Structure 1
Amino acid sequence: MATSNHTVGTFTFFILNGIPGLEAAHVWIALPLCSMYLVAMVGNCGLLYLIRVEEALHRPMYYFLSMLSLTDIFAINCVMPKTAAILWFKRKEIDFNACLIQMFIIHTLAGMESGVLMLMALDRFLAICHPLRYATILTNMVIAKIGLVTFLRVAVLVLPFPFLVRRLPYCHTNVIAHTYCDHMSVVKIACASAQIDAIYGLTVASVLGGLDILSISLSYVMILRAVVGLSSKDARSKAFGTCTSHVCAILITYTPAFFTFFSHRFGGHTIPPHAHIIMANIYLLTPPMLNPIVYGVKTKQIRDSVLKLFHPGKPIPLDES
């Protein structure tokens, strides 16, 4: 079945095989993944609603947080419905072109997530190091423009992925050992050299991730210098407090991302395939699930806004940048 219906050395569909070696446990593995998906959807949709209806949250910091939530919502909805269909109902077929589209969307949104975290670091830098100019620099128009540029930066670099993959012949098998169309998982089943794809993928990830991490690091170096120079202990505590949730989001996003990226390319013979795939799914689901929780717990104004929903007469103090 998996080796029919192909033309000119290229199959017209792929088979997403789920998690090889753990087929008997697919139904049970789907339960925590779908639970994470539901928590992520509720959390991010709730956060977007809160930011929209609460005027006190109509500020740059929360607009960037909205971008992060939207990115997370699109990313998990690109992957989880098909993953659930594979693990629960054994609906493993995916059209060749649909696979390429999914690949483009997944990698674009992963890069967008990193880019938004970089923008949020710059936001904290301006709020703490240039508080008097903060509102005049980050106008709504500026935020919209830099958000669009960040998206286009990633989309342009990721766009060659599906075209590079399409040029490869797939004549031995069309079975992909994954729950979704990850770039490297697809090119590994090609019956021709995929060295160009691997090099380009590594280059894109290094350029995007490297620039974002460098910008985040420089922003926090400048923030640390500015905060240390504050004379008041309360002021230093408040400044650090506004960064805590963002630092947590960075760790939540980049830790599984680095493990997935490097283990997929350099740990292929030492790490079992099912570990790669499980970690790849956790990488996509963990940040969307935890980010709303982290920001809800660590950000005072969001906590106050939630309380205001249940106590409409309670005012929200505007004490955060």
Structure 2
Amino acid sequence: MTGLSFRLVQASLAALFALFPAAAFAQVGQPVQGQLGFQDSVTPIMDSIVSFHDHLLMWVITGIVLMVLVLLIIVILRFNQRTNPVPARFTHNTLIEVVWTVVPVLILIVIAIPSFGVLADQETVPDGERLYLGSAIFSGGNVEVPEPTLTIKATGYQWYWGYEYVDDGFDFVSVMLNDEQLATTKPDEPRLLAVDQEIVVPVNTTVRVLVTAADVLHAFAVPSFGIKVDAVPGRLNETWFNARKTGMYYGQCSELCGKDHAFMPIAVRVVEQDQYDAWLAAAETGDFTGANMLLAQAD
């Protein structure tokens, strides 16, 4: 197989795989080896992102890939030296130049308009009445989200995260476990994502997250929640999530922040309301070891 033929096969396979964005490899809460699609969605924000991706963006991208592939094949077959020994001498075609300018602009407009609703979902904290249009664009109905009942401030440091439960008056730092700590304390959790103390929140609860940094730029991102927010020194950014399924969800700093950028993960444990109440009562006294033991016993 020639290099050109191999590239054509690669392009064809890429277009085929693009038709299956929600691959069976996807798993809630964390990435898995061989995964093709997003992590499973557990929030309204991520629902809107998945809908936008699966029902519009991927089809547009697939159409563009197939169109370019067809054009390449036509050029290869029709304008090679054997079938077209005398090349054309024209230098431009006004109609084609207009088309390849106007059509991409129209495609970008089609993509941009629904993306505004998706972006608005992420940037606007629910007030209990607002209907979130981003998740309804392709799913066929509006989604109403209750206003936040829990506020957590996340502060990025080189290279770990600090969390403050603003309404409850306590805070803690969250540091990635090294291999030895992971093997002895949390052997079932993923390497480079497990932390010594995760965020704990109740299920089906709207959580406001205030994000900042103490030194350099960081970014707070949890893929299953569909949130990614810059952490900027001296500035307080805001996002939110409402997780509908219990479990452990992982994220990472998503802004290059120094030599240990890859080693400041985010872990969020979503639990039932009664488990959260018990954990909160112990955490407010500073007894995080006892608080986490309560969760372990409940599991």
TM-score (norm 1): 0.30
- Which structure has greater strand proportion? 2
Higher RCO, Cα 8 Å, sep 6+: 1
TM-score (norm 2): 0.32
Which has the larger Rg? 2
